């Protein structure tokens, strides 16, 4: 099949998701990006393995998902061939091309590749490289919480392009410049948590998005509480009291946010609060059992909000219908009751 064009010039529904400036190009976005660079049935439930070959002017690097199979220079061009062996949703396929500093290694048996744009000065480059190299250790911690890491490599890419967001590209998230503080580290935890929740277990429909964003945000809370910072129970209380009942925050029913509000703040924060309230309700052991079973039973596949609710009820042996109605289906603040995990 022949497929050609200049992706940066193409728009659809007012969106131009393909990034290309200076000498860098980046195919990273959500939910729309895949058709900007390959022909595909662009739905998260139509997963496939991927072989991607990208040719660039000699002296440039290409980073993609999974494992580098080969790199060949012929004349003025170098071709990079990347392979993702595990099933992947189309929007999680990516490549970054340009002048990158690339490092690879193996940590506790898991191969990793990290890359940082050379557009940054030497100090920033070294700092971002250090942050990216924390990825294998974070993946290891996440696997103690959520079970086996589902892919055969990890890492991360820091682009100089002004994306304004990070994205959980399968096996190798992409980040804009992150700086050096706790928030930078938290962003890496978030995107790597998506490897379980979003990438391995993907949404069956985009309206299931809180299963991605709420879970990755709760993983940040869990990471903090197990690394000497604020506990997740306190985070829930803080968030709950910082949004009074009159706050429009509570109007978004996160189980059905609607296509215009897929990535609104409540999908993340009310989503994480829901998991923490569920933890208060069923206990830490059962919550982690639910999350591990969720990842294991839906691995390389998809899941729905309804399936998650049924699993939580099954594992805990509790009737959680009222709980989930209050947290994800009602456009109001859940009452601060024991049934809602708040007393
Ligand atoms: Zn996210």
Q: Alpha-carbon distance 325 to 334, whole Å?
A: 9
Question: Tell me, what's the pLDDT at 3?
Answer: 85
Mean pLDDT of 84-108: 98
Residue 1 has pLDDT above 80, yes or no: no
66 CA to middle of ligand 1, Å?
A: 20
Question: Tell me, what's the pLDDT at 149?
Answer: 98
Domain 7-195 has CATH 3.60.21.10: no
pLDDT in tens, 11-58: 998 889 999 998 899 999 999 999 999 999 999 999 999 999 999 999
Q: Give the pLDDT band of residue 234 (cuts 50, 70, 90).
A: very high
238 CA to middle of ligand 1, Å?
A: 21
334 CA to middle of ligand 1, Å?
A: 24
Spell out the SS3 assignment of 2-32: CCCCCHHHCCECCECCCEEECCEEEECCCCC
77 CA to middle of ligand 1, Å?
A: 35
Same fold for the pair 7-195 and 202-328: no
DSSP output for 181-215: SHHHHHHHHHHHHTTTBTTTEEESSGGGTHHHHHH
pLDDT in tens, 239-297: 999 999 999 999 999 999 999 999 999 999 999 999 999 999 999 999 999 999 999 99
75 CA to middle of ligand 1, Å?
A: 41
The domain spans of the chain are 7-195, 202-328
Q: Is residue 88 a contact partner of residue 96, using CB atoms and an 8 Å limit?
A: no
Tokens of 63: 């980073």
191 CA to middle of ligand 1, Å?
A: 6
Q: Alpha-carbon distance 190 to 215, whole Å?
A: 9
- Alpha helices for the chain (secondary structure H): 122-132, 135-146, 182-193, 210-225, 232-242, 265-282, 284-297, 305-316, 321-328
- Tell me how far the alpha carbon of residue 239 is from its chain's centroid: 22
* Domain spanning 202-328, CATH class: mainly alpha
210 CA to middle of ligand 1, Å?
A: 9
190 CA to middle of ligand 1, Å?
A: 6
């Amino acid at each position: 099949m022949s497929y050609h064009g200049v992706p940066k010039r193409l728009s659809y529904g007012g969106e131009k998701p393909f990034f290309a400036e200076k000498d860098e190009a980046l195919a990273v976005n959500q939910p729309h990006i895949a058709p900007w660079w390959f022909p595909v049935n662009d739905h998260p439930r139509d997963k496939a393995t991927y072989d991607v070959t990208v040719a660039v002017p000699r002296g440039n690097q290409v980073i993609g998902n999974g494992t580098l199979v080969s790199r060949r220079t012929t004349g003025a061009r170098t071709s990079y061939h990347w392979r993702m062996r595990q099933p992947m949703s189309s929007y999680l396929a990516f490549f970054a091309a340009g002048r990158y500093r690339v490092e690879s290694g193996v940590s506790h048996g898991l191969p990793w590749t990290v890359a940082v744009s050379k557009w940054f000065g030497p100090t920033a480059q070294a700092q971002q490289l250090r942050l990216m190299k924390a990825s294998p250790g974070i993946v290891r911690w996440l696997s103690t919480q959520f079970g086996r890491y589902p892919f055969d490599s990890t890492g991360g890419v820091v682009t100089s392009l002004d994306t304004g967001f990070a994205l959980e590209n399968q096996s190798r998230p992409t980040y804009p410049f992150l700086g050096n503080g706790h928030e930078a580290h938290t962003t890496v935890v978030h995107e790597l948590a998506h490897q379980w929740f979003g990438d391995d277990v993907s949404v069956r429909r985009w309206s299931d998005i809180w299963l991605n964003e709420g879970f990755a945000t709760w993983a940040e809370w869990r990471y903090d509480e197990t690394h000497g910072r604020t506990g997740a129970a306190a985070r829930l209380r803080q968030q709950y009291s910082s949004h009074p009942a009159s706050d429009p925050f509570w109007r978004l029913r996160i189980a059905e946010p609607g296509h215009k509000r897929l990535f609104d703040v409540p999908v993340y924060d009310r989503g994480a609060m829901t998991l923490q309230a569920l933890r208060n309700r069923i206990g830490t052991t059962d919550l982690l059992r639910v999350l591990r079973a969720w990842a294991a039973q839906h691995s390389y596949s998809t899941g729905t909000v309804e399936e998650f609710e049924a699993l939580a009820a099954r594992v805990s042996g509790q009737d959680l219908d009222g709980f989930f109605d209050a947290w994800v289906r009602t456009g109001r603040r859940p009452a601060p009751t024991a049934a809602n995990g708040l007393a």
